[in-house]
Structure 1
């Protein structure tokens, strides 16, 4: 294989790697954004309500 053909193959491989990296980076950012939205949604959907009898009485057994 001559130098020109090898150069073309290496350049094509480099382009493929760069494209794959860009796609994976975009997918990672999208997943992080969705995760943050899910956490925010869960925090908003479950209001913190105190249990009506929790901590009001102490049981002594003896």
Structure 2
């Protein structure tokens, strides 16, 4: 069964919309993933271990201090 032009246009439009949606979702969640990784690994960071930088107290503290410190 061959596809007509309308079906191909609909497929391409849906494919494009799905790609844009995925990109927007990843862009929105990326900062929170970074904060999660920083909080999980902060006990092994040399600056925290040597006392040059105090550890983050939570998500909000990390979100506030991260742009200033890095």
Q: Which has the larger share of helix? A: 2
Compare relative contact order (CA 8 Å, sep 6+) and give the higher one, 1 or 2: 2
User: How do 1:1-62 residues align onto structure 2 when only pairs under 5 Å count?
Assistant: 1-32=3-34, 34=35, 38=39, 42=48, 43-45=53-55
Query: Secondary structure of the equivalent of 1:20?
Result: helix
Correspondence for 1:54: none
Q: Over the residues paired in the alignment, what is the CA RMSD in angstroms?
A: 2.4
> Between Structure 1 and Structure 2, whose CA radius of gyration is higher?
1
Query: Secondary structure of the equivalent of 1:30?
Result: helix
Equivalences, count: 42
Structure 1 residue runs of 5 or longer lacking an equivalent are 46-62
Per the normalisation by structure 1, the TM-score is 0.51
Structure 2 residue runs of 5 or longer lacking an equivalent are 43-47, 56-70
What CA distance in whole angstroms lies between the structure 2 residues aligned with 1:23 and 1:31? Answer: 12
Residue 29 of structure 1 and its aligned partner are, at CA, apart by: 2.0
